[in-house]
Amino acid sequence: MLGASSVAADDKVYRLKLAETWGPNFPIFGDATKNMAAMADKMSNGRLKIRIDSSNKHKAPLGVFDMVKSGQYDMGHSASYYWKGKVPNTLYFTTMPFGMTASEQYSWFYYGGGMELMADVYKPHNLLSFPGGNTGVQMGGWFQKEIKSVDDLKGLKMRIPGFAGEILAELGAKPTNIAPGELYTALERKTIDALEWVGPSLDLRMGFHKIAPYYYTGWHEPGTELQFLVNQRVWDKLPADLQEILRVAMRTAAYDMYTQSTYESGKNWVSIKTEYPDVQVKNFPPEVMTQLRAANDKLLVEHAAQDDMAKKIQKSQAEYMKQVRSWTEISDKAYLNSFD
């Protein structure tokens, strides 16, 4: 028979606060946090309550890392590569240019050692990080002028975060990161010349097609994974069953965001082609792609030479991608090529 103290512990309600980078009712990304919180509540029979504060509430869309690290918030939902200026090795856990697709990356996280490496990077900061939803392959961005050669990238002011921004800087561009709610205004006022956001799933509602007619296919984010951040001390105070409930809720919400992104991209892609025929879909010229890949390879070597953890993560990703890509090519790629 359980004692009174055990019953009290079982009945205790744990209330957590989550800060997200996205604005209120932001589709897909914001749906992931709402789904996660609802599942945690239901699976715990009301013992785990998670309040979500959007960027309009906490006023720091790109400050989620610091707010969760300091304990101002218990949890966060954002993108790991936003923190590369604070902790450079976090960028590897969102996506890498010319890297793994979403399915390949998920298998690396859960079966190829990715989760363990991510834990090592975040541990010194009193944080746990979990996959928080994938967009799939992202488009290469909206441009006000056509990119015909590498020279067209020189001086180009573009919103593009992560490692891809460093690559473009190598080719003479001027990358910057801007919070989602400020993107349209920055492009409209020509504070920037181009931007990448996500893809048809979210780009269409942002209205970028009204002011930037060239829409380029992707190279820089082949499987963009968001993240759930959890303060380590908060996690440690949760009973074991609530830890597992939270873990399952985050993992399920992440997968659901991936499927929702795929659905919305397919639906919106049809709308772009039929309702906005003036949008010009382009591939970057082969010369540009060659230079982008060369800059990518150069920077990877430099990062690895400066940081043992970067070298370790890169090695893990490269070896795993070599293994899994051989299967992707004979399965997904061969299947799709059969329609050509």
| Residue 34 and residue 181 in one domain | no
Distance CA 150, CA 138 (A): 21
The H or E element containing residue 122 is: helix 114-122
- Residue 283 — φ and ψ, nearest 5°? -100, 145
Distance of CA 247 to the CA centre of its chain: 18
Band the pLDDT of 9: cuts 50, 70, 90: low
**72-258-333 Cα angle (round to 5):** 140
Per-residue pLDDT of 186-200, as tens digits, reads: 999 999 999 999 999
| Residue 122 and residue 24 in one domain | yes
pLDDT score recorded for residue 11: 87
Helix axes 286-306, 308-328, angle to 10 degrees: 140
Percent of the chain with pLDDT over 90: 95
Into how many domains does the chain fold? 2
Residue 177 DSSP class: -
Q: Is the pLDDT at 154 greater than 60, yes or no?
A: yes
Number of C-beta neighbours around residue 148 at 10 A = 12
Strand, helix or coil for residue 113: coil
Residues 6+ apart with CB under 8 A from 205: 27
Provide long-range contacts, Cβ within 8 A and 24+ apart, for 316-320: 316/108, 316/112, 316/113, 316/114, 316/117, 317/92, 317/96, 317/99, 317/100, 317/108, 317/114, 320/100, 320/104, 320/108, 320/112, 320/113, 320/114
Per-residue pLDDT of 38-78, as tens digits, reads: 999 999 999 999 999 999 999 999 999 999 999 999 999 99
Helix axes 240-275, 29-43, angle to 10 degrees: 150
Least confident of 9-18, 58-67, 202-211, 225-234: 9-18
Mean pLDDT of 245-274: 97
Q: Is residue 322 part of a domain?
A: no
What pTM was computed for the model? 0.94
Q: Is the pLDDT at 18 greater than 90, yes or no?
A: yes
| Residue 201 and residue 230 in one domain | no
| Residue 23 and residue 70 in one domain | yes
Q: Is the pLDDT at 235 greater than 90, yes or no?
A: yes
Band the pLDDT of 82: cuts 50, 70, 90: very high
Band the pLDDT of 1: cuts 50, 70, 90: very low
Q: Is residue 39 part of a domain?
A: yes
Band the pLDDT of 2: cuts 50, 70, 90: very low
| Residue 238 and residue 129 in one domain | yes
Strand, helix or coil for residue 318: helix
In whole angstroms, how far apart are CA 147 and each of 141, 199, 220, 235, 288?
A: 11, 19, 16, 47, 9
Per-residue pLDDT of 104-122, as tens digits, reads: 999 999 999 999 999 999 9
Q: Is residue 116 part of a domain?
A: yes
Whole-number average pLDDT of the chain: 96
Distance CA 204, CA 207 (A): 6
Cβ atoms of 261 and 28 closer than 8 Å? yes
| Residue 130 and residue 195 in one domain | no
Q: Is residue 59 part of a domain?
A: yes
Q: Which residues pair with 131 in a beta bridge?
A: 227
Range of 128's domain? 12-134+223-263
| Residue 79 and residue 202 in one domain | no
Cβ atoms of 172 and 154 closer than 8 Å? yes
Distance CA 188, CA 185 (A): 5
pLDDT score recorded for residue 8: 45
